[in-house]
Structure 1
Amino acid sequence: MSSKELPPSTTPFFPNQFITNQFYSKAQYVSKDTDLSGKVAIVTGANTGLGLECANQLLSYKLSQLIIAVRSLRKGEDAAIHLRKQYPNAKIEVWLLDMSSYDSIQAFASQIEGKLPRLDIAILNAGIANSTFRLASTGHEETMQVNFLSTMFLSILLLPLLKSKSPTGSPGRLTIVTSMLSLTAKFAQKDKIPLLKAFDDEKTFDGVDIYPTSKYLGLLFLWKLTDLVSADDVVVNCVEPGFVKGTSLQREAPAAIRFMLYLLKVTTGRSMKLGATTYLDAAITKGKESHGCILMNWGIAPYPPLLYTVEGENIKERLWQETLEELSFVNVNGILESLAK
């Protein structure tokens, strides 16, 4: 069954779900016979952490071309140098992508359209977790901008490119990284009208909850987005990599929280290599059955309970309409309508 058809989970996240995730989940590795020769993949935020490890694993299966999409070309090139030494037969490029800027995202999509005759896989890994309030150039709170608005914007722009540039009979793959912390989101703004602007108020900013909530909003939006896309054209899914040691996502958290997270990661965290296998499982191993699904612990998992309720349906609709209005400067409605043709 798909995530939408599964009954909502009633298991408390911590410690029950967390312990199950970290200690009782059986890893599913990509088959050793997998051959990605001829295929082209994009990984955002691939200069470090899970993104870099994901890139490394993709290349280990003979991926022909990799686009490392990063906001710092220097850091991207540093990562690419090491990958090129390991995989001299692959074409590895570094492209600029600033997820806090709509202009940069549009330029990135235009670069794909003009320079890539083929595109098979896009893994949207880039994300931030600010503990202090900051506005992006768009005027929105930065974590919400990067993790939700910009990620959904890039997803919409990538869908027709993945549809048209993937070979006939082999649908493009779009995998978006989410977080199990979305299950802990307070989402205190859910009754606010308008909804998106409620996150731009510094007085109500919650540095602990903004990251989980930004990922939660992504799930709300993707529930509706994937209904408009055929799995025969592009398979779209979300992947939750688990609690992984060695990442720098919480680098801006207060020192006390960073120390607590360090101890928790040392004792319970998955290795970077294991965490990245969830990305490949979602983008390569899982088939059309995973379209519109959340993948957790290498299996299909339900959406958060609220999404199955009448209240959740109303919030989904409000968020959908506000987001499309926010992105109307590129006629996203027209892009989405074209996907049904």
Structure 2
Amino acid sequence: MEVGIIGAGSLGLLYSYYLSINQSVTLYTNKAVQANLINEKGITVQRDNNLFHMNMNANDSREYKEQFLIITVKQYQLEEIIEKLKDQPSKTILFLQNGMGHIRFMPEISHHRILFGVSEHGALKLNETTVKHTGIGMTKIAFYDRQKIDSEIINTLINNEHSLFMFKLFTEWEPILKEKLVVNATINSLTSVLKVKNGELISDPYFKKLLYELFLEVIDVLNERDVDGLWLHVVKICENTAGNVSSMYKDVKEGRQTEIDSILGYLIDHAYGKNIPYMRFLYYAVKGIENENNLGRV
């Protein structure tokens, strides 16, 4: 099966490596320099102090000619890709973004078979060709429109999966995106403003109180009723990734634009008059940090 992976950040490199073991993968980068390096050196994955290497075909074009595409770019980088996909013949496309801001684009590309996905893998990009696999998880996927499915591609994907890189197909996409949004909205936003690693949100009693109050706002907006189950899920993520820096905090530290608009911004837009002081504070705080880094739009 020919697979096109759009975006060569940490997830793009990670998915390219594992899928290329059994599939023909093309990695679409944003810059020619990175594509040239990948074509020359391949992709290296660091896992458990071991290095694993795979040759890779990469380019910086916007051809997206493969029948199965996986989009790993940040939310704010999607618009240009969506414009390209509008004119493409029908394909199967898997979106792997944080937040739920990308849902608004789906009517514009309704001729495609769309999958939404959530990656539970931990990945840290070390350089343009090397990624560290910091946590092994699962990729949860579900079709956006159950009337438009592609069983052949899904079966090929699952039947040829690597034992450390498994996929699971769900019938409904909304629950898996909401579960991930709860995690992103609480852990990512708080660590970015408090400037702490994930584990400190539960090891410090004051930070944990903040985390819980924010969590209650998030699940209220999402109309989620499984308070105890979701709270245990957030705590478990903090425990399992205790020494990690969240992706948003990493963006803040490195002066990059964050995905705050598609995470807390999305929730604020869907609060419909609910009292959400913690969310509003954190949203404006992160936007202010972006503005200081000359990335915000005033």
Superposition TM-score tier, normalisation by shorter sequence: 0.3 to 0.5
Provide TM-score, normalisation by structure 1: 0.36
Higher strand share: 2
Indicate the structure whose relative CO is greater, using CA pairs within 8 Å and at least 6 residues apart.
Answer: 1
